[in-house]
Amino acid sequence: MADGKIPEEFEVGAPVLVCRWRIQGGELPAMNRHMRALGKRMVLGKHLTPQLLGWVKQHVEWTLKDGSYEHPNGVLMLMTDELGRAAMAVGEYEPLADTSLSALVERAKTSELEAGETDVAPETIWVARGGSLVYGAGVGSISSGAASLVLDLAATLGIPVERADSLAEDLEMGAACDEAFLVSDEHGVVPASDAKGPMGERFAQSWEALLAKTARAAK
């Protein structure tokens, strides 16, 4: 795609960027949020082209429902290679088998490594402390689609949010918190099984409500 055009056939090489977005009823919840975050992602030091972003949006809007017939409540996967070529596929959604705090922290740390290359972490760890939230991301960092939703919900509810890019490492070292949860483009809001609390449950319920609303609208 050196000429910036979308090729007719997509023969994607080894992916350097993989986005995994939960779908519901063959539709993509929070599509605009995901598209904004996608537009800010980097592939080998370059933003995705407007042509590619337009192709993704067009296929999500026009063909996702038919293309997700076998897995209408599955996961949409967008893969981009080093040449800027892309492909999309839909697979079955599998909930996390391990939702312990240590497992969620490990996922957040892996996601931080991805953000080091693409500028956007698809999964982040959050904790509640004394009625406030701490978001495991640096000041000024770019939020994923799901994280931007939680940030806006927190603002609506009047819950202060502090950013801390060392949060995952701090938790790994035993830092205290009232509760913790993962925010993921694929899994939504996942409270830690051994560190649950009312705040995480509230955000998890909001995510589930969004999925239900999307499913109703898709009928």
Mind listing the pLDDT tens digit for each residue in 182-193?
999 999 999 999
pLDDT of residue 4: 37
Q: List, by residue range, all CATH 3.30.470 domains of the chain.
A: 15-91
Band the pLDDT of 3: cuts 50, 70, 90: very low
pTM listed for this prediction = 0.93
Structure tokens at 138: 């640096």
Q: 């500028």: which residue's tokens?
A: 119
Most confident region among 8-17, 59-68, 93-102 by mean pLDDT: 93-102
Rounded to 5°, angle at Cα 67 from 66 and 73: 90
Rounded to 5°, angle at Cα 74 from 149 and 101: 55
The highest-level CATH class for domain 101-218 is alpha beta
**How confident is the model over 205-219, as a mean pLDDT?**
94
Q: List, by residue range, all CATH 3.20.10.10 domains of the chain.
A: 101-218
Q: Which CATH number does the domain 15-91 belong to among 3.90.550, 3.30.470, 3.30.70, 3.10.20?
A: 3.30.470
pLDDT at 127 over 60: yes
CB distance 36 to 145 below 8 Å? yes
**How confident is the model over 82-93, as a mean pLDDT?**
90
- 9-13, 94-98, 156-160, 212-216: which range is least confident on average? 9-13
In angstroms, the CA 205 to CA 207 distance is 5
pLDDT of residue 214: 96
CB distance 182 to 107 below 8 Å? yes
